A and B are shown apart, each in its own frame.
With several copies, the nearest count.
Chain A
Amino acid sequence: MISFQLSEQQKQIKEMTHWFAANEIRPIAMEADRLGKVPDEWLDKVNKMGIHLNTSSFSGGGGEESSRKSKKEREGNRMGVLATEQMAWGCPAITLSLPGAGLGGPPVQSSGTPEQKERFLSIFTKEKPRWGAYALTEPEAGSDASGVKTTATKVDGGYILNGQKIFITNGGRASWVVAFATVDSTLGRAGQRAFVVEKGTPGFSCTKLVKKMGLRANETAELLFEDCFVPDENLLGGEKLYEASSNKPSGFQVAMKTFDSTRPIVASMAIGIARAAYEYTLDLVRQEYPKGGETSALAAEMLAEVEQNIAAARLLTWEAAWKADFGLPNAKEAAMCKAYAGQMSLDVCSKCMELLGPIGLDGHLVEKLFRDVKIFDIFEGTNQIQHLVVARRQYAAYEVRV
């Protein structure tokens, strides 16, 4: 039955994450942006609370619980998008800095061997904050996931990696990074492999933390592999995964599959940002605008448009997550929600800036959100890439590959 009402569990996670975002994240959002980092004590504190960012599903408190009820309808993806919207509403930069496997989680979860899952996912304990990361993008290939140039040369007992990765969220602090490399560039996509490279591995270094337009509290790193030896047991999924029938399950497939679950999460963040800007502005309009005047009439239309667009993005995102929960193919829906949310959220922030007027320049949250939000239309596949994915699915029935 079609329903947009939250289940009890969904309501709970939403309320819990909203509480956390409102009481723990939002209060430090502006300060973290100014500092260019999330304070260490704060990270320590929330890690002890068990708050992590797993981009496939948000885990708060008991991660064990979810395994218990595998017979019930899976709702991890829906829970994930609900939770992420709330967290990003608090502050997207801080949300992306939360301890946990982050964007590195989904590939390990979906393609790792049982041994790898245990080894890499069990390190996120309350003892101290740790991060995972995901390293696909390279200097010469932004949205082109198939153009990976980092090489992996097979040697005895492992691979030697050489290459550079850029725009890696939490890449400097991560305990491990899922890095994509090619064993033979002439094989194209079939030659791709995914490796889990651990911090401290000789030849693996973080060469730079870049300064950005926004998301300043969140670390964005450049990583370098120089004759970096990675043992066989860190090949994600093991050799078996890549030997499988034909050339389907290559590292490229791992990367693509990851997108289907991370894109709705990224879309949720954009939605959370847009909603934060909208609510902030609505409050201000309610309190400060002269009642019933023409300013107020203009604001009414703009706010209605903003609210509509946020709802539109949210429903697209829910659909993508719902499909994922049912194990249905959701590449199209994931691309749709990301494409729409990424673009709409900037527009929302810009409209809110207009409603705030010049005072909005002086220490108001909305300007920070404006700076933060732009990247959501770029990372995890630009808007253009999302349109391509949508179009490709749309034409699939006609056997035309666009």
Chain B
Amino acid sequence: MISFRSTEEELAFVEVAKNLAKEKIRPQARICERNQKLNEEIVQEVQELGFLSLELSEDWDGLELPLISQVQILQGLCYGDLDVVQGLPGAGDAASFIRFLNQRLDTYKTDIVDELQTVSYLDLSEDWGTNIEVKKEMNHYILNGMSQPVKLAAQADYVLIAVMDSNGEPILFWLDSSVHPWHVEEGDYRLGLLTSGIARFTFDHVKISTDAILAQGNTAEKIIQDGRTRVRILQAAREVGLMEAALDYATEYTASRKAFGQEIAKFQGVSFRIAKMAIETRIVNHLVWEAALQADQEHPEAEGLSLRALHRAHKSLRYVTDSAVQLLGGHGYIQEFPVEKWMRDAQAQVTLYGRERQCLKKRGEQIIAGNREEVMA
């Protein structure tokens, strides 16, 4: 039965998340950005509430929530600040892969779940911009080259790498900083998501023994595909949270700001833009929910829906955050108001998580190929 009603449990989670967002995360966001580092208190609170292990399975003391619940909680948290949420330590995006590899990674559980050591997820599938070579030799692999910038690289204790080796075989590697001597490039990052440890890895002929292989072949392929689908959905959900923040902020501002003798909300040039922002935000919300529901059902179309949701999330996030700045006028551009940061974070986010046109093209090819059952309303 078509329904847009969250469960009681979800509503309770969201309320907690949103309170934390409003009372702790947003007020601290500027400071975190300046320090390029999260406030310990926030980290602790998020951890205590279980929000760092939404995606982890119960063996890993995770909440193992369905995606449809997770996305709502993430929206709530990111209503505070996207950057802060992206900077949270622990399993990060890698959680969506680790959940399929619990036993294999059991020895790291305490470090990651309790000590909040950080995992960076590095996907080497992009067709340009990365020049990392993964060469198989005898009993080991040699990893060489520099990655694109990825999240949590600066503070990573571990790196989970998804890659095709030089023979075209999919592999998932687990690199441990105490074993594998990678190097994190000193970068020059100014745009946004500055607390989230974006950096590039350099591997100088790092030798990786087969121990470090988490999965390969068909198993790896399946985990990579499912994991990527989940990451797309969870990232798109974060973007919805930021959109909601920007929409509400701009609505409130334009409702009180006066010019030409009245609240600027009364000009359709303003109010129609607010309406468009509201519509776009709602659309992305729904597309994300739809993708989450299908992924929870392990529907074969979930991958395509995750591409669709992420594409729209990126596009709308840019629109909505830009609109918020625009509607605040000069105040939108200065750091005394949050919206300029949100616009920067938004652009960094869409830059980091998949090119819009690639998402669209990939989805379109699936549609034309038509080799999947269509999810039709």
Partners in one complex: yes
Binding site for B on A (CB under 8 A): 1-7, 10, 14, 30, 33-34, 73, 75, 78, 82, 85, 137, 140-144, 146-147, 166-167, 210-214, 220, 282, 285-286, 288-290, 293-305, 307-308, 311-312, 314-316, 318-319, 321-323, 332, 336, 339-340, 346, 350, 353-354, 356-363, 367-368, 370-371, 374-375, 377-379, 382-384, 386-388, 390-392, 394-395, 398, 400, 402
Q: Knowing A336-B278, A371-B344 touch, does A402 contact B266 (C-beta < 8 A)?
A: yes
List, sorted by A's number, 19 A–B pairs whose CB atoms are closer than 8 Å.
A143-B259, A144-B260, A167-B334, A214-B333, A289-B128, A293-B127, A295-B358, A303-B368, A312-B312, A315-B283, A340-B279, A358-B351, A362-B188, A362-B198, A367-B191, A387-B269, A387-B275, A398-B251, A402-B268
Ranked 9 nearest A-B pairs via Cβ: A300-B364, A363-B188, A304-B364, A398-B255, A315-B286, A391-B271, A390-B275, A213-B340, A144-B259
Q: How far is the CB of B130 from chain A (nearest CB, A)?
A: 9
Contacts of A394 in B (CB 8 A): 251, 271, 274-275, 278
Q: Is the CB of B271 within 8 A of A402?
A: yes
**B343 contacts A by Cβ under 8 Å:** yes
Contacts of A282 in B (CB 8 A): 367-368, 370
Contacts of B126 in A (CB 8 A): 357-358
Q: Knowing A144-B260, A304-B363, A378-B329 touch, does A10 contact B7 (C-beta < 8 A)?
A: no
Q: Is the CB of B329 within 8 A of A361?
A: no
Q: Is the CB of B265 within 8 A of A2?
A: no
* A contacts with B: majority SS: helix
Q: Is the CB of B4 within 8 A of A319?
A: yes
Q: Knowing A167-B330, A340-B279, A371-B191 touch, does A2 contact B4 (C-beta < 8 A)?
A: yes
Q: Is the CB of B340 within 8 A of A212?
A: yes
Q: Is the CB of B267 within 8 A of A384?
A: yes
- Bound CA–CA A333/B127 (angstroms): 41
Q: Knowing A3-B3, A142-B331, A391-B274 touch, does A339 contact B279 (C-beta < 8 A)?
A: yes
Partner of A361, one of B128, B189, B326, B358: B189
Q: Knowing A303-B367, A361-B189, A398-B252 touch, does A353 contact B347 (C-beta < 8 A)?
A: yes
Closest to B293 in A: A4
Q: How far is the CB of A361 from chain B (nearest CB, A)?
A: 5
- Bound CA–CA A369/B251 (angstroms): 28
Q: Is the CB of A316 within 8 A of B352?
A: no
- Bound CA–CA A308/B358 (angstroms): 14
Closest to B126 in A: A357
Q: Is the CB of B149 within 8 A of A361?
A: yes
Q: Is the CB of B283 within 8 A of A316?
A: yes
Q: Is the CB of B255 within 8 A of A400?
A: yes
Contacts of A4 in B (CB 8 A): 2, 289-290, 293, 377
- Bound CA–CA A312/B269 (angstroms): 23
Q: Knowing A295-B127, A315-B286, A360-B351 touch, does A322 contact B2 (C-beta < 8 A)?
A: yes
Q: Knowing A5-B2, A142-B259, A340-B283 touch, does A354 contact B191 (C-beta < 8 A)?
A: no
Closest to B267 in A: A384
- Bound CA–CA A354/B344 (angstroms): 14
Interface 0/1 of B184-201, CB less than 8 Å to A: 010111110000001010
- Bound CA–CA A354/B360 (angstroms): 13
Contacts of B358 in A (CB 8 A): 295, 298
- Bound CA–CA A4/B341 (angstroms): 35
Q: Is the CB of A146 within 8 A of B260?
A: yes
Partner of B357, one of A6, A302, A318: A302
Contacts of A315 in B (CB 8 A): 283, 286-287, 290
In chain B, residues 221-274, which have Cβ atoms closer than 8 Å to a Cβ of chain A? 251-252, 255-261, 263, 265-272, 274
- Bound CA–CA A307/B370 (angstroms): 13
Partner of A353, one of B189, B251, B351, B357: B351
Q: Is the CB of B368 within 8 A of A300?
A: yes
Q: How far is the CB of A69 from chain B (nearest CB, A)?
A: 14
Interface 0/1 of B312-349, CB less than 8 Å to A: 10000010001001100111111110001101100110
Contacts of B68 in A (CB 8 A): 2
Q: Is the CB of B265 within 8 A of A3?
A: no
- Bound CA–CA A141/B261 (angstroms): 10
- Bound CA–CA A358/B272 (angstroms): 33
Q: How far is the CB of A357 from chain B (nearest CB, A)?
A: 5
- Bound CA–CA A368/B188 (angstroms): 11
- Bound CA–CA A65/B260 (angstroms): 43
Q: Knowing A167-B330, A375-B333 touch, does A387 contact B148 (C-beta < 8 A)?
A: no
- Bound CA–CA A289/B368 (angstroms): 10
Q: Is the CB of B333 within 8 A of A357?
A: no
Having A210-B334, A318-B377, A363-B188, one finds 5 other A-B pairs with CB under 8 Å, namely: A304-B308, A307-B367, A322-B2, A322-B4, A370-B347
Q: Is the CB of B357 within 8 A of A354?
A: yes
Q: How far is the CB of B120 from chain A (nearest CB, A)?
A: 13
Closest to A399 in B: B255
Q: Is the CB of B330 within 8 A of A137?
A: yes
Q: Is the CB of B275 within 8 A of A75?
A: no
Q: Is the CB of A147 within 8 A of B260?
A: yes
**B372 contacts A by Cβ under 8 Å:** no
In chain B, residues 274-294, which have Cβ atoms closer than 8 Å to a Cβ of chain A? 274-276, 278-279, 282-283, 286-287, 289-290, 293
Closest to A383 in B: B326
Contacts of A5 in B (CB 8 A): 1-2, 293
**B140 contacts A by Cβ under 8 Å:** no
Contacts of A300 in B (CB 8 A): 360-361, 363-365, 367-368
Q: Is the CB of A357 within 8 A of B269?
A: no
- Bound CA–CA A284/B265 (angstroms): 43
**B165 contacts A by Cβ under 8 Å:** no
Closest to B251 in A: A394
Contacts of A374 in B (CB 8 A): 322, 325, 332-333, 340, 343
Contacts of B4 in A (CB 8 A): 2, 318-319, 322-323
Q: How far is the CB of A298 from chain B (nearest CB, A)?
A: 5
**B168 contacts A by Cβ under 8 Å:** no
- Bound CA–CA A240/B181 (angstroms): 78
Choose among B188, B279, B325 the residue with the greatest number of A CB atoms under 10 Å from its CB. B279
Q: Is the CB of B276 within 8 A of A387?
A: yes
Choose among A10, A302, A308 the residue with the greatest number of B CB atoms under 10 Å from its CB. A308
Closest to A8 in B: B1
Q: How far is the CB of A83 from chain B (nearest CB, A)?
A: 12
- Bound CA–CA A211/B358 (angstroms): 35
Contacts of B335 in A (CB 8 A): 210-213
- Bound CA–CA A213/B275 (angstroms): 25
- Bound CA–CA A360/B351 (angstroms): 8
Contacts of B275 in A (CB 8 A): 339, 386-388, 390-391, 394
**B356 contacts A by Cβ under 8 Å:** yes
Q: Knowing A211-B335, A398-B255 touch, does A354 contact B356 (C-beta < 8 A)?
A: yes
Contacts of B282 in A (CB 8 A): 316, 319, 336
Contacts of B265 in A (CB 8 A): 391, 395, 398, 400, 402
Choose among A213, A294, A297 the residue with the greatest number of B CB atoms under 10 Å from its CB. A213
